Amino acid sequence: MMNLTPISDIKPYPGNPRVNDKAIGPVAASIKEFGFQQPIVVDKDNVIIVGHTRYEAAKTLGLTEVPVIVADKLSPEQVQAYRLADNRTNQNSEWDPDLLLSELTDLKDANFDLTKTAFTPQEIHDIFNEPTVGTPDSLAATFIVPPFSVLHGGNPTWLARKKAWTTSLSLRSGESREGAVCMSPAVQAGNLRMEGNTGGVSIFDPVLAEVLISWFSAPGDKVIDNFAGGSVRGAMCGVMGRHYTGIDIRPQQVKANEVWYTKNRHKHDLLDATSPTWIVGDVPSPATVAPGEYDFALTCPPYGNLEVYSDMPDDISTKEYVEFKELYRRAAAELYTLLKDNAFAVIVVGEFRTKTGEYYNFVGDTITAYLDAGFQYYNEVIYETPLGTLILRARKQMTATRKAGKTHQNVLVFGKNLNKTLVTPSHQNVLVFSKGDVRKTNAVVRNVFTNIDIDVEEASLSEEPDGFDN
Ligand SMILES: C[S@@+](CC[C@H](N)C(=O)[O-])C[C@H]1O[C@@H](n2cnc3c(N)ncnc32)[C@H](O)[C@@H]1O
């Protein structure tokens, strides 16, 4: 039976294992808003069984009487067990996110103060997925990830997105085994030669492709990739409405990519419509095999002969570094001729080591090659790769050789005649990101920077404070 009891008559249980300090404030607010609707349960000696938080909250509110139920039929053991069970059973419940959103939406529509539900402002914000202007979340809502010069490829959100793309587009079909190098652990380590390395072959990170495509190109753009390898960049260009042409010297890789496309083009309307194309060709030939004017270049070249792709004489991965560099520089020069003014060329590279252990300066040589070809050097973005087995290898490596475990690659962004015209196209850039089976679920359509016209010179003068390291 319930009765109103002076608060001074009831006693907290000294052995209460539940720490409820943080709940007292919200419960007090709730009692204040909604009244004392749930009594405190006490045993026959007025010791609290259930309701310690309500008791503390009542004290903070200065209440002198509280509703109480005396559970006088329970044995001492039952009292003790009930005290635990009441708290423990609460832990078994969880929120149905859709129903929760629907309930909160009703309240919001009625202009009810949502913080009175005891959800924190941050939780309410997360539930409604409304990133606040000026937070990394709000930047991510616009740019996929905040447009900073470090991309955290191992963070959980990134990895979840990567999984969504690899699954929905069947990107792990094995088709790029022969060509995949950019993201393989050995390349991340930067000090392994790949011949005979059968494990660890992975694909180009689709989220990295997605981010770079959305930041540096626009829907409808023509994209060229002169060291295509596997199908990921073509796939991502396709689902983002860009027209991709990938060139690779190995006919078997081109064939594998075509097979992937035939099997998977139906998975996304845009992919089906934009028809990424792969062509057999080599470094000097893009202008012959894929003539035209392109709006964007995205590629991941061989890292010298770190991984040798074939025994074809023109495969530059078969060359020693001096000769490789010469051909590589030609590739940069060729690419320049294929791009329109105001186009970006994004080259994903990483340092790797000579047999005697020092870096070749591949990143530096890439920058020089593209500068010499006529490009402007515009951004360096560090792509932080997932740690993988590096954690296991780093100790030995540092102890034995003082080499830091390499967990990044360099995304070098060049531009062609950027300062003569506007950098960013003025039309809307819309990215379609599909969840799960793209045929069955609704696509989540997200705007990626809408109508931004930036004058490069003006932007570089006005947006970067003194001392800003870019
Ligand atoms: C680093 S891989 C690209 C791998 C790709 N990132 C992927 O995810 O599969 C470089 C590619 O360049 C190709 N390649 C090597 N020499 C070439 C040449 N002379 N012309 C065009 N492609 C070449 C190789 O066949 C290889 O597929």
Report domain extents, the chain: 2-90, 97-127, 145-462
Between CA 210 and CA 274 the distance in angstroms is 15
- Total-model pTM: 0.66
The CA 297 to ligand 1 mean position distance, Å, reads: 14
| 429 in contact with ligand 1, CB cutoff 6 A | no
Contacts of 128 (CB under 8 A, 6+ apart): 101, 104, 108
255: which 2 tokens?
A: 């064939």
Give pLDDT, residue 95.
Answer: 85
The CA 225 to ligand 1 mean position distance, Å, reads: 10
| 343 in contact with ligand 1, CB cutoff 6 A | no
Q: Which atom of ligand 1 is nearest to the CA of 248?
A: 22
The CA 436 to ligand 1 mean position distance, Å, reads: 30
Contacts of 334 (CB under 8 A, 6+ apart): 226, 283, 284, 285, 286, 287
The CA 438 to ligand 1 mean position distance, Å, reads: 30
| 222 in contact with ligand 1, CB cutoff 6 A | no
Q: Print pLDDT tens along the chain (470 aa).
A: 789 999 999 999 999 999 989 999 999 999 999 999 999 999 999 999 999 999 999 999 999 999 999 999 999 999 999 999 998 998 888 888 778 988 999 999 999 999 999 998 888 987 887 666 777 778 888 899 999 999 999 999 999 999 999 999 999 644 434 333 444 444 444 433 332 233 334 589 999 999 999 999 999 999 999 999 999 999 999 999 999 999 999 999 999 999 999 999 999 999 999 999 999 999 888 888 999 999 999 999 999 999 899 999 999 999 999 999 999 999 999 999 999 999 999 999 999 999 999 999 999 999 999 999 999 999 999 999 989 899 999 999 999 999 999 999 999 999 999 975 555 443 333 343 433 333 332 233 333 333 222 222 222 222 233 222 32
| 171 in contact with ligand 1, CB cutoff 6 A | no
CATH number for region 2-90: 3.90.1530.10
118: which 2 tokens?
A: 């005891």
| 210 in contact with ligand 1, CB cutoff 6 A | no
Give pLDDT, residue 99.
Answer: 86
- Classify domain 145-462 at the CATH superfamily level: Vaccinia Virus protein VP39 (3.40.50.150)
| 227 in contact with ligand 1, CB cutoff 6 A | yes
Nearest CA residue ID for atom 20, ligand 1: 282
Give pLDDT, residue 93.
Answer: 86
| 307 in contact with ligand 1, CB cutoff 6 A | no
| 182 in contact with ligand 1, CB cutoff 6 A | yes
Give, to the nearest 10 degrees, the angle between helix 156-168 and helix 206-216.
100
Contacts of 17 (CB under 8 A, 6+ apart): 84
Q: What residues pair up with 245 in beta bridges, in sequence order?
A: 224, 277
| 235 in contact with ligand 1, CB cutoff 6 A | no
Give pLDDT, residue 73.
Answer: 93
| 175 in contact with ligand 1, CB cutoff 6 A | no
The CA 405 to ligand 1 mean position distance, Å, reads: 25
Give pLDDT, residue 432.
Answer: 38
Nearest CA residue ID for atom 1, ligand 1: 302
CA angle 123, 125, 128 (to 5 degrees): 105
Give pLDDT, residue 346.
Answer: 98
- Residue 79 near residue 71, CB atoms below 8 Å: yes
The CA 293 to ligand 1 mean position distance, Å, reads: 21
| 314 in contact with ligand 1, CB cutoff 6 A | yes
Q: Which of 169, 210, 309, 352 to mutate to test the pocket of ligand 1 (most atoms within 8 A of CB)?
A: 309
